[in-house]
Chains A and B, each alone.
Chain A
Amino acid sequence: MRCSCEGNFFMSVQYGIGVDVGSTSTKAVIVDAVGRMVASHLIPTGGSAALSAAKCVERIVADVGIRQDDTPIVSTGYGRAQVNGAGERITEITCHSIGVHHLNPEIALLIDVGGQDSKVIRIGKNGRPADFEINDKCSAGTGRFLEVMSRVLEIPLPELGALALESTAPSAISSTCTVFAESEVIGRIGAGDSVKDIAAGIHLSMASKIGTLSRRVGVVEPVCVTGGVALNPAFRFYLSKQIGVELWVPEEPQLTGALGAAILSLKNND
């Protein structure tokens, strides 16, 4: 049956599940046959990728009232190999690309900033990645960088961005290494810089690193930002300045990987 709703897929299944096991959090999404998100859940990954994935899936199938065994699952993220019941394992590069394309087919460039890595993906035909870059092994430019800095400044992570936006003179922070930047922040505190200026410097440093990564792929508009860090207003502000374009952020930017996986579970079972 050809569906006339938003999805335009040929469907033989009613629902699809996507599970994104990241280094910081595990996300699961259920979409219906036309690709509408009907349930989602996010929990910290903790020590076991398999367990966090199972907990997430258990919760969303209960919310929708469906049987897990009857529903195709695609897993993604660093823990994708550990997800029980996944019919297919697809990288987060492809899943984020598909997820964002599903939400906004206009998007040409996707910047995803996760806990452990940041990726820049040029979205091509049918939402598939046409080119991509991932940060090097250094954790500068990832969510972990902000976590470490929030601990050093003793400011809760959700408040760090708003505080940074109050600054008019960001401190100079090295963009090369999280560990060295930590010492540098402590040095700035010792030198008497205000916390808001240091917080702004931290965001600027991170945005600068990701700006470089984006320019390597080539900044083509419209640009979307996803991942937990996309919720941070100071990061969005500085990244937008760095690459010189407006940024589009989905309503739930942490879920696009799981959403893409769920969409692919439908496509692969149609």
Chain B
Amino acid sequence: MSEEKAYRRLETSQLLQQISFRHMLEAHAASEDGNLTWITSGFPVEIPIAMGIGVVYPEQYAAIVGAQKVGPDICGLAEEYGYSNELCSYARASIGATIKPDQSPLGGLPRPQALLACNNICGTVLRWYDAVSELTGAPVYLFDTPPIDDEQLPHHVAYVRQGLHKLVDFLAKKFDTTMEKENLRKVSQYSSDAIRLWIDSLEACKNKPSPLNCADRFLTMAPVVSSRGKDYCVEFYQALNDEVRGRVKDGIGAIRDERVRLLWDNIPPWFQIFRFFNGLAKKGVVFPADTYTHAWSGKVSGDDLYGSITEVYSNVYLNKGLEAKADKMVQLIKDYALDGFIMFSVRSCKRYSLGQMVTRELVTERTGVPGTIIEGDMVDSRLFNDAQIQTRVEALLEMFV
């Protein structure tokens, strides 16, 4: 009989594969119909979906490139073309795959007819989508969300809202379609339902043992990023939530022997996602919370949907100051009863990684729990030094003895 694994696989994984496959099929069909947009992860996807326009995510594609361990090859295609190896590896992976789709996983992403970028997650997205625009001929629409310091200024609210109306005009003209208010209401409802179920599944991890580990959340977050606003997305999160709540009820944890509970900060190393987190699971380490998957939590609701979208998409914490990030980490550590934290300094994601040293000090000061910073990248495994990372992580764990 084989040895019992330290972690438990989610039954919902099978459904996740089906829904991901469906998402890609829909994207290919939309592209063939001249109806596909490439879209950034923080973009108000409810708008194109409500207007019947297809969406696909280069960031998710880059994660697949990373998970298939071909990051250096595909990023290398962009580097051969002249892009710096300091550029975001999500950008390099999608640009590389656009240049040579035949050499890329899944044959690259289906060709876009428009590119929708929102700079609430970083400023790189604009230049990145400009580069893709040069390669594909698809025009870029930038949904501009000025950074928020303390609170959003009234003229910024008006500006962002105006950007939404311009977006609708742009899509209507480009794809010869209209925005039906009733459609937007229905899509927003699906989006909010999916997010409600997602948040409830995340919050279930406050329980001991935690029903989900980091890799579980990073994989199951895919639909809430790409397909929120679709009915099948709600079905998926209902199934996930049922499984998660079932685990809580039965006292079943994501890992078999939970001894240390940690917070994870940043995107994961996709090429190591199972090896890294399952390796730690064998040492009794579970990650009941992370800063990244908690980012998809804003529900579009109320009578004024444009106002709600403006608020939700402007207030992504990456669009706020360092203090907001530290507040988020402190809150998660307290709410989820965590013993410490690991911050992944992602070489090519400057926006997420900037200020981690200071944040680490602030968080330890405010919570009293220790943390460590490890360095690497989300897609480009050339930047990941296993021995150095092991030493830092193990030294952190030895502090709990």
Do residues B357 and A93 form an inter-chain contact, with CB atoms below 8 A? no
Distance in angstroms from A95 CB to nearest chain B CB is 9
User: Residue of B at shortest CB range from A92?
Assistant: B391
Could you say which interface size class chain B belongs to? 10 to 19
Do residues A93 and B391 form an inter-chain contact, with CB atoms below 8 A? yes
User: Residue of B at shortest CB range from A216?
Assistant: B357
Do residues B357 and A90 form an inter-chain contact, with CB atoms below 8 A? no
| Chain A residues within 8 Å of B385, by CB | 137
User: Residue of A at shortest CB range from B400?
Assistant: A128
Interface residues of B in 351-379 (CB under 8 A from A): 357, 364, 370, 372, 375
Distance in angstroms from B386 CB to nearest chain A CB is 11
How many Å lie between the Cα of A92 and that of B401 in the bound state?
Answer: 15
Do residues B391 and A128 form an inter-chain contact, with CB atoms below 8 A? no
User: Residue of A at shortest CB range from B347?
Assistant: A137
Do residues B399 and A129 form an inter-chain contact, with CB atoms below 8 A? yes
How many Å lie between the Cα of A21 and that of B388 in the bound state?
Answer: 14
User: Residue of B at shortest CB range from A121?
Assistant: B395
How many Å lie between the Cα of A130 and that of B340 in the bound state?
Answer: 12
| Chain B residues within 8 Å of A40, by CB | none
Tally of contact residues, A, Cβ under 8 A: 16
Do residues B375 and A136 form an inter-chain contact, with CB atoms below 8 A? yes
CB-CB under 8 A for A130 and B387, given A136-B375, A216-B357:
no
CB-CB under 8 A for A91 and B394, given A117-B388, A136-B375, A137-B385:
yes
User: Residue of A at shortest CB range from B391?
Assistant: A91
| Chain A residues within 8 Å of B357, by CB | 216
Do residues B398 and A129 form an inter-chain contact, with CB atoms below 8 A? yes
Distance in angstroms from A160 CB to nearest chain B CB is 26
User: Residue of A at shortest CB range from B392?
Assistant: A134
How many Å lie between the Cα of A36 and that of B388 in the bound state?
Answer: 31
User: Residue of A at shortest CB range from B387?
Assistant: A78
Distance in angstroms from A148 CB to nearest chain B CB is 19
Per-residue B-contact encoding for A105-147, CB less than 8 Å = 1, 0 else: 0000000000001000000000011111010110000000000
Distance in angstroms from A101 CB to nearest chain B CB is 14
Distance in angstroms from A78 CB to nearest chain B CB is 5
User: Residue of B at shortest CB range from A90?
Assistant: B398
Distance in angstroms from B54 CB to nearest chain A CB is 41
The secondary structure that dominates the B interface is helix
Tell yes or no: A94 within 8 A of B by CB. Answer: yes
Distance in angstroms from B337 CB to nearest chain A CB is 21
| Chain B residues within 8 Å of A78, by CB | 387, 391
| Chain A residues within 8 Å of B388, by CB | 117, 134, 137
User: Residue of B at shortest CB range from A95?
Assistant: B398
Do residues B375 and A132 form an inter-chain contact, with CB atoms below 8 A? no
> B395: which of A94, A136, A137, A216 is its contact (CB, 8 Å)?
A94
User: Residue of A at shortest CB range from B370?
Assistant: A131
Do residues B395 and A91 form an inter-chain contact, with CB atoms below 8 A? yes
| Chain A residues within 8 Å of B401, by CB | 128
| Chain B residues within 8 Å of A117, by CB | 388
Do residues B391 and A132 form an inter-chain contact, with CB atoms below 8 A? no
| Chain B residues within 8 Å of A131, by CB | 364, 370
| Chain B residues within 8 Å of A130, by CB | 370, 399
How many Å lie between the Cα of A90 and that of B283 in the bound state?
Answer: 13
Distance in angstroms from A81 CB to nearest chain B CB is 9
Most chain B beta-carbon contacts within 10 A, residue among A91, A92, A117, A216: A91
Distance in angstroms from A110 CB to nearest chain B CB is 13
> A128: which of B387, B392, B399 is its contact (CB, 8 Å)?
B399
| Chain A residues within 8 Å of B398, by CB | 90-91, 93-94, 128-129
15 contacts between A and B (CB under 8 A): A78-B387, A78-B391, A90-B394, A91-B391, A91-B398, A93-B391, A128-B399, A128-B401, A129-B395, A130-B370, A131-B370, A134-B391, A134-B392, A137-B385, A137-B388
Q: Which residues of B contact A (CB under 8 A)?
A: 357, 364, 370, 372, 375, 385, 387-388, 391-392, 394-395, 398-399, 401
Since A78-B387, A128-B398, A128-B399 are in contact, a sample of 19 more A-B pairs with Cβ atoms closer than 8 Å, ordered by chain A residue number, is A90-B394, A90-B398, A91-B391, A91-B394, A91-B398, A117-B388, A128-B401, A129-B395, A129-B398, A129-B399, A130-B370, A130-B399, A131-B364, A132-B372, A134-B388, A134-B392, A137-B375, A137-B385, A216-B357
Listed from nearest, the 3 A-B pairs whose CB atoms lie closest are A93-B395, A91-B395, A94-B398
